Structure 1
Amino acid sequence: MSTVTPPLPYRVASVKEETTDTRSFELVPARRELPPFSPGQFAMIYAFGVGEVPVSVSALRGPHGGLVHTVRAVGATSTALYRLREGDTVGVRGPYGVGWDLTAAAGHDALVIAGGIGLAPLRPVVHAVLDRPAAHGRLGVLVGARTPADLIYREQIESWRGQATVGVIVDRPLPGWHGEVGVVTALLDRFDLLPDRTCALVCGPEVMMRRTARALIDRGVPPHRVQVSLERNMRCATGHCGHCQLGPLLLCRDGPVIAYDRAEPLLAVREL
């Protein structure tokens, strides 16, 4: 079992506004560098004097060669991170958890389905597939958000359209929105789904992941080829405290990414 190591100091190299309450920031090591991260893994980021929260890596390499994390301000610590400016320092430890199984996606069509800020841990998957097109089949990126104002990475999503099947949908339109309205599963018909050669990677609110996984399975995609990223209250990130327990799993250690054939029976138990 892993031990908790002290966070290393990382400096904020750049900050990018995503929405009115969400920002991406690039971190570079102030001294020693952490081991390499994989898509889907997360770091524990410490805002000095405030607290520590788990944050997925949203890009493995930013403009200055550092890790990129995307944070939505929802609590005291995430709000402190949201307010970071270039030159500020935070503590970082990791990498933690099991990331997306891109080996399972090799030679298959990769269908990325995201709800809200769930696109953040999936963005490195899109980057990886686009960087190695010969290793994969077709790429689909389906994104849902509450409103157009809540869409993150809007410019980058547009840049993917020439290289992937891209669909964007919102729950509630705002003036000037001319796109799709509804839930993200309504976009599945946009992708010419070949069940026997599709690997789906899904991240978003839990109810969205359950409904999306069920829609994919109903279309013939095997449950073990549907990967989901689950979220629980991760505090230690090393399997010690038990706060992130989901049945027999400790998601900081055994997840957050697991295949849906393992996730489905656990998510069906309300007490978990």
Structure 2
Amino acid sequence: MTDVPLPYRVTRVRPETADTVSVTLAPAGAAAVAPFVPGQFAMVYAFGVGEIPVSVSRIGHRELVHTIRAVGAVSAALCALRPGEQVGLRGPFGTGWSLGRAIGQDLLVMAGGIGLAPLRPLVAAALAAPHAYGRLNLLVGARTPDDLLYAGRLRAWTAAHGPPRCAVAVDRPSPGWWGRVGVVTTLLNGARFTPRNTTAFVCGPEVMIRAAARELVHRGLAPHRIRVSLERNMRCATGHCGHCQLGGVLLCRDGPVIGWNRAEGLLSVREM
């Protein structure tokens, strides 16, 4: 991990939705950040604007991909990058999904909106080791079809018979919509998993995380086997600004991925 931003060059920019792009970055010099694991994040610096925490959405040998939604000045500047331009990169930071703890178990991956981005490397890692895990379910929800990330890949997975067993739902369909209609938790009825031998990985808006985790517990999953990412609360990555503090936990240091057995209480404290 480095506390000094290293120069990274943009090698590719891929539009995902009207306000979201995937930016591929490669070291601009000999120095590179340490290897990432799925679920970790980097601090990405737009020169002259500022930096924000962004989870990795694909991990290559030397390249990293970050899927970024334009919601503020820094993220808008990053979304406007073009190949050849440079950014600063610090990291890796945070806890990962700890996929290794789920060896031999069924995997249940639930994503809402841009929450699919930090889960994508986990799915890739599971697909790369098909004999290490049981059944792989990928359940994805979004507001509209136009809000779906990686729509082409999701459509191919949904049509295929092999892993992952993928299902996609949107709240508001449009003409020609090929998936289901409803919230992401409704997709659990078609998933194949054994609750006592399943690890779940959940990322998305906080309301979606709460609903998904509570439904999973209702269906028999132990709370400690439900891993959630609370990355939307992070700011500085060093634990100094306090914006990511929930109770006694600093998410950029102790998270953003934590078990639901801890996360439920932390989120309840914030509601009080």
TM-score range, shorter chain: over 0.9
- Deviation, structure 1 residue 235: 2.9
Find the counterpart in structure 2 of residue 167 from structure 1: 167
Deviates more, 1:235-244 or 1:202-211: 235-244
Question: Could you tell me whether the CA contact under 8 Å between 2:26 and 2:63 is conserved in 1?
Answer: yes
- Deviation, structure 1 residue 233: 4.1
Letter in 2 for 1:38: V
State the alpha-carbon separation in 2 of the partners of residues 136 and 179 from structure 1: 26
Find the counterpart in structure 2 of residue 20 from structure 1: 18
Find the counterpart in structure 1 of residue 55 from structure 2: 56
Tell me how many residue pairs correspond in the alignment: 268
User: 1:117-160 CA deviation, whole Å, 9 max, x = no partner?
Assistant: 00000000000000001111110000000000000111122343
User: 1:17-70 CA deviation, whole Å, 9 max, x = no partner?
Assistant: 1111110011000121000001000000000011110000000018xx400000
Name the TM-score, length of structure 2 as normaliser: 0.95
Segments of structure 1 that go 5 or more residues without pairing to the other structure are none
Question: Could you tell me whether the CA contact under 8 Å between 1:232 and 1:251 is conserved in 2?
Answer: no
State the alpha-carbon separation in 1 of the partners of residues 82 and 106 from structure 2: 39
**Local SS of the residue matching 1:5:** strand
Q: % of aligned pairs identical?
A: 62
Find the counterpart in structure 1 of residue 112 from structure 2: 115
Question: Could you tell me whether the CA contact under 8 Å between 1:118 and 1:203 is conserved in 2?
Answer: yes
**Local SS of the residue matching 2:187:** helix
Question: Could you tell me whether the CA contact under 8 Å between 1:231 and 1:256 is conserved in 2?
Answer: yes
Match status 1:86 vs 2:55:
no
Give the direction of change, closer, same or farther, for the CA distance of 1:138–1:233 in structure 2 (3 Å limit).
closer
**Local SS of the residue matching 1:6:** strand
Find the counterpart in structure 1 of residue 8 from structure 2: 10
Question: Could you tell me whether the CA contact under 8 Å between 1:232 and 1:245 is conserved in 2?
Answer: no
**Local SS of the residue matching 1:269:** helix
Letter in 2 for 1:13: T
- Deviation, structure 1 residue 97: 0.3
User: 1:89-141 CA deviation, whole Å, 9 max, x = no partner?
Assistant: 00000000001011221110111000000000000000000000111111000
Question: 1:1-272 counterparts in 2 under 5 A?
Answer: 5-31=3-29, 32-61=31-60, 65-160=62-157, 161=160, 162-271=162-271
- Deviation, structure 1 residue 178: 4.1
**Local SS of the residue matching 1:7:** strand
Letter in 1 for 2:41: F
Letter in 2 for 1:239: G
Question: Could you tell me whether the CA contact under 8 Å between 2:200 and 2:227 is conserved in 1?
Answer: yes
**Local SS of the residue matching 1:39:** coil
Name the TM-score, length of structure 1 as normaliser: 0.95
State the alpha-carbon separation in 2 of the partners of residues 18 and 58 from structure 1: 12
State the alpha-carbon separation in 2 of the partners of residues 225 and 20 from structure 1: 35
Give the direction of change, closer, same or farther, for the CA distance of 1:180–1:232 in structure 2 (3 Å limit).
closer
Question: Could you tell me whether the CA contact under 8 Å between 1:165 and 1:190 is conserved in 2?
Answer: no
- Deviation, structure 1 residue 271: 4.3
- Deviation, structure 1 residue 164: 1.5
State the alpha-carbon separation in 1 of the partners of residues 243 and 206 from structure 2: 17
State the alpha-carbon separation in 2 of the partners of residues 138 and 144 from structure 1: 20
State the alpha-carbon separation in 2 of the partners of residues 148 and 156 from structure 1: 13
Letter in 1 for 2:44: I
Segments of structure 2 that go 5 or more residues without pairing to the other structure are none
